[in-house]
Amino acid sequence: MNFELTPEQKMIRDTARELATREIAPKAAQIDKSHQFPRDIFSRLGELGLLGIMVPEAWGGAGMDTLSYALALEEISRACASTGVAMSVQSSLVEGPILKEGTDAQKARWLPDLAAGRAIGCFALSEPEAGSDAKAQKTRAVRDGNRWVLNGTKNFITNGPVADVAIVVAATDPAAGSRGITAFIVPMKTAGVTVGPPDDKLGICGAPSAQLFLADVALDDGARLGPAGGGFKIAMRALDGGRIGIAAQALGIARASFEDAVRYARERKTFGQPIAEHQAIQFKLADMRTDIDAARMLLWRAAIKKDAGGAYSTDAAMAKLFASEAANRAAKEGVQIFGGYGYLRDFPAERHFRDAKITEIYEGTSEIQRMVIASALLKD
Ligand code: CAA
């Protein structure tokens, strides 16, 4: 087993690290406080090729592998978890399914703009009554000649308030269950598409999410993504890739908590010595570091298996499960190491603590990841 990165992988990681350190980290507290989507930073990601890492060069991307994407996303999320999730949704949940299932016309229309950050994408699967049970879709798409008419409400749509395009999943044949669901590419300017007010959230406050309302949204058949009835599998495959993205985001948050805590532990003195000299703190730091490395190994394995072309759902679920729970452990201990200061908004530890929580919830809760892992192992 070789853990050495290629020169290209190091290059993209270093590009992301440089941007994250110089331009994103100094703004992260303000992005969180203002609840403003960092459009300028998103554009910079696009300019540097970080929004189309896995998109082939022919479609305007960097044509690199999933591990490169994970490396870059970890660096961006280490500086700002809000920016990290926006990048993850754009890459995994929007570009991913267009690349995999789209026609050449759909790829040409959307991928160059998404990869360059000229367009922002969102992924509309969840509904008020279809979260973990994703196939319980109430949004309907009814065929009318060569058109489809969509009606319904989507929930918690990350990037929704700023998006130009949405991947929308809707029931086209409710009696057929998961085989009666179809995916569509919906420009947000289409008549009948409206977005609710931004959700008021605990964390990732710079990544706006909202409800999406579809009222008699008429689309021609060219907006259909993949086969009619194939939408559930398209969404599940997109989420397999998405879980790699969220694992990388969680890893970035864990690293931020850990690195901030190490720096503080070296500076802060109690009982006449830096708290890093106390075994109580050393044990916390050792556990955080071990968690981070274990999460990274699971993430890299999932990324490498995805590119190898075989099944990787379970690997992505394990990576997302472990990394998100590791991020929450690290963020909690980060606050503890900072003590009273960790509880203040003046220090980043409390932002990491709030940002970490969502990684155990979106793109499949930890309970859903365990279901995915268990159902695969019981089939073996
Ligand atoms: N890839 C391809 N196909 C898949 C698949 C996958 N990963 N998982 C399931 N399928 C297929 C199955 O093989 C089955 O196909 P057949 O009909 O041919 O047999 C079909 O899909 C139905 O599968 P299941 O019976 O296993 O489906 P289920 O109803 O039991 O659900 C689930 C499975 C894993 C629980 C799924 O509902 C799930 O992942 N739920 C969580 C949803 C989720 O992650 N939502 C996140 C929303 S997006 C978000 O958070 C983005 C954001 O804003 C940041």
* pLDDT tens-place string over residues 201-227: 999 999 999 999 999 999 999 999 999
Give me the pLDDT at residue 306, please: 98
Mean pLDDT along residues 322-328: 98
Atom of ligand 1 nearest to the CA of 375: 26
Give me the pLDDT at residue 1, please: 79
Domain residue limits, the chain: 7-120, 122-232, 236-379
CA nearest to 59, candidates 117, 113, 121, 119: 113
Q: Percent helix, strand and coil across the chain, each rounded to 5?
A: 60, 15, 25
Concerning whether 363 is annotated as a catalytic residue, the answer is yes
Give me the pLDDT at residue 380, please: 74
Most informative mutation of 233, 357, 379 for ligand 1 (most atoms within 8 A of CB): 233
The CATH fold of domain 7-120: Butyryl-Coa Dehydrogenase, subunit A; domain 1 (1.10.540)
Give me the pLDDT at residue 74, please: 98
Most informative mutation of 236, 363, 370 for ligand 1 (most atoms within 8 A of CB): 236
CA angle in degrees (0–180, nearest 5) for 128-350-15: 90
Model confidence at 2, in pLDDT bands (50, 70, 90)?
confident
Give me the pLDDT at residue 355, please: 98
Alpha carbons 45 and 52: distance in angstroms, whole number: 9
pLDDT digits (tens, 9 = 90+) for 27-40: 999 999 999 999 99
Domain 122-232: assigned CATH number? 2.40.110.10
Mean pLDDT along residues 78-103: 98
Residue nearest to atom 4 of ligand 1 (CA): 233
Mean pLDDT along residues 264-270: 98
pLDDT digits (tens, 9 = 90+) for 162-185: 999 999 999 999 999 999 999 999
187 Cα to the center of ligand 1, angstroms: 24
Which residues does ligand 1 sit against, CB inside 6 Å? 85, 89, 93, 123, 125-126, 132-135, 156, 158, 178-179, 232-233, 236-237, 239-240, 313, 362-364, 368, 371-372
Give me the pLDDT at residue 142, please: 98
121 Cα to the center of ligand 1, angstroms: 21
Residue nearest to atom 3 of ligand 1 (CA): 233
> What is the residue-averaged pLDDT of the chain?
97
Please give the structure tokens belonging to residue 2: 């070789």
Model confidence at 128, in pLDDT bands (50, 70, 90)?
very high
Residue nearest to atom 44 of ligand 1 (CA): 364
Architecture of domain 236-379: Up-down Bundle (1.20)
Model confidence at 147, in pLDDT bands (50, 70, 90)?
very high
Alpha carbons 219 and 217: distance in angstroms, whole number: 6
